[in-house]
Structure 1
């Protein structure tokens, strides 16, 4: 019996049973001829008819049968001797739950053809790989890079910025420079009719200790600025949101921040602190000349409804106490990490999970001088002692080395350097085994970026993401200046005077050059038969492109590499739906690996395929270049196969969680959600009934999913604990590639929110294709 205390009373519940569910028991009875054991021949018949082992050949079937018997004998669940010898019910159930019977064959390693060009594969891609948490204030470290590589990620991104002294390089998350704008900010009292504005600044500051108030000012103004520039991008499409609509967006963003644990001690402030931005974000971009003539009058203060109020007007202003001079910076509040630490971590851990190539994408915000002279080598005392005399006659111990040298000397023979400046076709993963590839913009691209800035201000600020229907309407109202410039182009703006003396050695290190966008999607997606390249698009720009240039994207990705990355306003490191990219053949769908959630679970599920090597071959439908047969992911396609999924039962929570983890006064009430993520026609989600007060729920529920494109379908499985009075508790999840599922009754191990496998929690499920 299991006992729960309710005040001075005790509630008693029947102890969890290890017995299989009713339907599983029926399966055992059917193949044991109603007896208590399953003999050798009955086991082979079960493996052939239910588990589909006949499809792999008689030798494999015999090997599996021997493994089952050996497993049962090891667990002392095999009855021996005479006519009654065979597998017991408990032994049968225990083997079904074992990892040897997993839904994805644990013996299957890399099985796909790895001899095709890189553009023929989906590649496991990270975004801002060095961040430990949110995009605004988390730390930068080599630890997330190491974890990503151990998880099989094959594309690592590093943001390179000059340090404060402009004499060394740092890796950190940067932002656009807003010095001139922020210098012209001041605050005003709200008018009587501004009832929608909440008293925010002074009340919020009082919640912080005095030494934390200046950083709070900086952070809040940075949030204001980032949201303001995103919202005001709409004016370039002659489409600007009303303040009333914006307040709902901002409230939603604030709730996301609260749920992510930011400002844990002042959650009420989070919900109201964004509201005063309405006057700012609802207005069009102010004319710089007008802003320059602005009158800087001191902000008065008055009591309103018992509280102090300040209004943030169209000219973003700092708090009245003083000018916000400390804000003027190119960066967010993330703390930097040294470049050498990151490079050394990549070198040491690059091929732990997979021998296939690691692509290093550099968000290079350095001047040519720093590309050539990027970092001092700080030597420890022991090294100084041995090398002192060697360096003495060469100008001292601190030596400047170029970025080129740093990369070459760190990676050595692991670094792939192409023999050709322009490749007609990418090498294959097999050709690039245990190689590290550098991919970034060639230095000459920076010379042209500044020239395009003034004419393309809309692209610099970007625009808010919308769904496909809204995007279509926006395009019908289009304005030519509404193109969104990708993140790499936004953040690479440097002073034109510094763009001299391009380092040719640095250029030769770039094996996969990034093409500078021309702000014309027809030109950006034009396929050059004599040259392959990589294009990078932001989430917002890509979403617009698939509406108007979906076929062009598929053709482009058949030869070239395309990378898409999350929008800059995903401050909590959330992710977009990766299938939005995979449906069109996008190889590099960059994900925030620290942003745990359903979208990241899909990415993790996709790259469980092909032995978890980080490269998954694109289906043939995406490689067909016949104009009459070009794949259209939005079209209604005939059903190719049907997947039947039966959820029998689950177990393991009682071992991994406290007795009161899900419910304080009773055992948990579990239900399972099962569905498909794929092309729009295949995507759906179903749910079992809730099983009350049990640690071992037995659902015995069957679902059927018609699939038109099974090659792009992912099976989603989630378990939750039902709660009538608050949000349901999370009980585990997993995501599996449909095309690798093994037929029959299989064990499915669940993972936690971050994608790490739970130690004991598993489901027993059955998969059949018809």
Structure 2
């Protein structure tokens, strides 16, 4: 038995899970079916089946889950709250875009045992170190392949297992290693022997070669040798001596090597595969930026049509979509409000078949989840299509549910010359909507009910129909357009994000207030970025702008956000529900600074008199291009794309740069035939980066196909400024942005000035 599992098996909650329970799986008010659930002996797999469905069963791994919610914490469980009390209900939440599992236990004690047991198992899975993770991975494969469950595997079974693990290897070589591992000469391997076989199989020559270059005796790295490696190869400079000792303490598995201040090849490999050996600078992962500047000085992680789980014509509107976006660090959510038939405002994509949810439920969800992953402010972007009566009700819900969390007055009573900072607005929610007048009128209470002409023209911000066209204005009895009615109580809740129509950069420079915010369709923003890049950068240094996807994107596809970030647009709204390149870039940019949803813009974008233009970065006085060189050395345990038994991948690596127009570039390696297990490329890809502070680097692995499009296998995206030079591992992510254990690439990176 896996030693890790035996320890946790003694836990009383885990014992209940292993004994098994009958739980109701709930999909809707009418679909509630009993299933038998139990935790398998490996302590990682949850198995369930219907009592009646013959042999059919399903399984999922603890590693696929990210949390357990207690009680009625999903729309489905809320809908059956009268039938099943909260202490019987719980929700298993999965990583990425995988749907949740709503369950009802037969007794509160059983529910409690499953809730606590799953939490303990998730915690254990999350706190495994690299070595434990790899051992667990090998263990899982062994169990998958051991069909007759005798804990042994003959050569034929091992060969089949290698195919499953994406290895197509020379039979003679495999047999040779198998025989070496079969110490008892029984013709089969037990789990420990299989682990030994696996280690020989994954002996990484490329890591061994680097180790040899610095090791005097070829057996270990003494402290000074490790310091040399850190300073020369990893470009760590002065800090390398203290760091070398820390690395030995942290990663060296051999106690005797540790005592002698040395690192073995095993320790060296574990270090290279760890977070510290990854391509991402560890210190940039943490919250490290100045958070005391005006809001307009930050890129803000922003979502479009946040209420949708699918496309915008027929998709399901769901509170779950808000929870998922907020969990991904999103700090600007969109709420499309319409009059509800029973007097309660509803949220959905107007004039389409998307389902409806209650506005008050959206606000309650926001209250609960807004600050779970980040303390910094959330902007609630309101698309208001309601009549005055239901607008007033919306204002009541906002005040009643959000309480002091909602910003309803100027922070210090002063009319601001610049927006407050994320630091000052910690734990606060801001309403972005149309307003009858500016915040200065909040000071002396001289408000009128008239909507100004400027407000009337704010149709550009209406984004209401699926084509993002302004809604048709109602005509009054003279045949002239009547003014849209705005509820004063709702208007009063808008303080720092007043939606206004954009009248051009010249007008904004002379008239606009820092709290005015305009929305631009992607096509309009692109045009302005190309024709007046420097003006757009200056405008965005003072006030916020929001960009939204064009109206033809009814499939909820996304535009490339990089073009908008290049001119300093802060609220670049994407469909978080749609996986792909654009969300990879968003995750890449916001993966730094503690994933808090705010990233400080480069200094040349925070200066109201900047000369910077993304079209001509070389004309800016701070221009300092850099050379990026990535030697793609090897890949490790790449994921299978095609689950057909005999298929093995032909991987290639593509590196893509996203940044100012001059920096857009792609280079790729050749493909390696039939090896997703340990392909070796040793190919170098070179780039020149003209605006390093804005560039994102995306590394993608694809399965080459000469007849059709290559299949996506995994990717990793990060800001150029977060890259660590030297020998590094890139831990690949799935289409959903979740980790694919233990898939990685081994690279050597150098960054130098252009001479």
Short-chain TM bin:
0.5 to 0.7
Residue deviations 1:643-680, cap 9 Å, x none?
A: 22222222233xx658x62x643432111111211111
Match of 1:350 among 360, 365, 370: 370
| Structure 1 residue 22, shift from structure 2 partner | 4.7
Counterpart position of 1:307: none
Counterpart position of 1:592: 575
The 1-side partners of 2:736 and 2:274 are apart by 23
Corresponding position: 1:31 with 2:214: yes
Counterpart position of 1:289: none
Superposition map of 1:304-383 within 5 A: 331-372=351-392
Match of 1:141 among 295, 299, 318: 318
The 1-side partners of 2:242 and 2:233 are apart by 15
Decide whether the 8 Å contact of 2:663 with 2:688 is kept in 1: yes
Decide whether the 8 Å contact of 1:649 with 1:698 is kept in 2: yes
Superposition map of 1:117-132 within 5 A: 117-132=294-309
Q: 1:492 to 1:95 in 2, by over 3 A?
A: farther
| Structure 1 residue 739, shift from structure 2 partner | 0.5
Number of residue-to-residue matches in the alignment: 543
Corresponding position: 1:516 with 2:500: yes
Counterpart position of 2:648: 667
User: Structure 1: 5+ residue runs without aligned partners?
Assistant: 175-330, 373-401, 463-483
Match of 2:289 among 112, 118, 121: 112
Superposition map of 1:35-54 within 5 A: 35-54=218-237
Q: 1:90 to 1:106 in 2, by over 3 A?
A: same
Match of 1:646 among 622, 628, 631: 631
Counterpart position of 1:170: 346
| Structure 1 residue 496, shift from structure 2 partner | 6.2
Superposition map of 1:237-636 within 5 A: 331-372=351-392, 402-419=393-410, 423-443=416-436, 448=453, 490-491=470-471, 493=473, 502-517=486-501, 520-522=503-505, 525-528=508-511, 531-626=514-609, 629-634=611-616, 636=618
The 2-side partners of 1:348 and 1:557 are apart by 31
Counterpart position of 2:76: none
Decide whether the 8 Å contact of 1:445 with 1:516 is kept in 2: no
RMSD of Structure 2 on Structure 1 (CA): 3.3
Corresponding position: 1:94 with 2:74: no
Counterpart position of 1:2: 159
Q: 1:428 to 1:18 in 2, by over 3 A?
A: farther
Q: 1:564 to 1:446 in 2, by over 3 A?
A: farther
Q: 1:619 to 1:80 in 2, by over 3 A?
A: closer
The 1-side partners of 2:630 and 2:368 are apart by 42
In structure 2, the residue corresponding to 1:686 is in which secondary structure? strand
In structure 2, the residue corresponding to 1:580 is in which secondary structure? helix
Superposition map of 1:15-30 within 5 A: 19=202, 22-30=205-213
In structure 1, the residue corresponding to 2:523 is in which secondary structure? helix
The 2-side partners of 1:696 and 1:510 are apart by 57
The 1-side partners of 2:496 and 2:357 are apart by 25
Q: 1:335 to 1:664 in 2, by over 3 A?
A: same
In structure 2, the residue corresponding to 1:124 is in which secondary structure? strand
The 1-side partners of 2:550 and 2:450 are apart by 22
Q: 1:636 to 1:501 in 2, by over 3 A?
A: closer
The 2-side partners of 1:136 and 1:500 are apart by 26
Q: 1:32 to 1:683 in 2, by over 3 A?
A: same
After TM superposition, the score normalised by the length of structure 1 is 0.65
Residue deviations 1:373-412, cap 9 Å, x none?
A: xxxxxxxxxxxxxxxxxxxxxxxxxxxxx22221111111
The 1-side partners of 2:204 and 2:450 are apart by 64
| Structure 1 residue 49, shift from structure 2 partner | 2.0
Residue deviations 1:737-757, cap 9 Å, x none?
A: 110112222222111112222
Structure with a larger share of its residues in strand:
2
Q: 1:86 to 1:406 in 2, by over 3 A?
A: same
The 1-side partners of 2:474 and 2:277 are apart by 56
In structure 2, the residue corresponding to 1:137 is in which secondary structure? coil
Higher relative contact order structure (alpha carbons within 8 Å, sequence separation ≥ 6): 1
In structure 2, the residue corresponding to 1:568 is in which secondary structure? coil
Corresponding position: 1:71 with 2:251: yes
Residue deviations 1:166-203, cap 9 Å, x none?
A: x22111011xxxxxxxxxxxxxxxxxxxxxxxxxxxxx
Q: 1:738 to 1:635 in 2, by over 3 A?
A: closer
Decide whether the 8 Å contact of 1:101 with 1:746 is kept in 2: yes
The 2-side partners of 1:740 and 1:732 are apart by 20
Counterpart position of 2:701: 719
Decide whether the 8 Å contact of 1:123 with 1:615 is kept in 2: yes
The 1-side partners of 2:594 and 2:163 are apart by 47
Decide whether the 8 Å contact of 2:633 with 2:746 is kept in 1: yes
Counterpart position of 1:758: 740
Superposition map of 1:221-236 within 5 A: none
The 2-side partners of 1:78 and 1:560 are apart by 60
Decide whether the 8 Å contact of 1:583 with 1:633 is kept in 2: no
Decide whether the 8 Å contact of 2:376 with 2:422 is kept in 1: yes
Counterpart position of 1:701: 683
Match of 1:682 among 660, 663, 677: 663
Decide whether the 8 Å contact of 2:628 with 2:751 is kept in 1: yes
The 2-side partners of 1:759 and 1:122 are apart by 30
Superposition map of 1:147-226 within 5 A: 147-164=324-341, 167-174=343-350
User: Structure 2: 5+ residue runs without aligned partners?
Assistant: 1-157, 175-197, 437-448
Decide whether the 8 Å contact of 2:387 with 2:485 is kept in 1: no
Residue deviations 1:360-380, cap 9 Å, x none?
A: 1111111212211xxxxxxxx
Residue deviations 1:585-616, cap 9 Å, x none?
A: 11111111112111221111111122211111
The 2-side partners of 1:639 and 1:450 are apart by 43
| Structure 1 residue 94, shift from structure 2 partner | 2.4
The 1-side partners of 2:697 and 2:203 are apart by 24
Decide whether the 8 Å contact of 1:450 with 1:495 is kept in 2: no
Decide whether the 8 Å contact of 1:584 with 1:633 is kept in 2: no
| Structure 1 residue 510, shift from structure 2 partner | 0.8
The 2-side partners of 1:761 and 1:704 are apart by 24
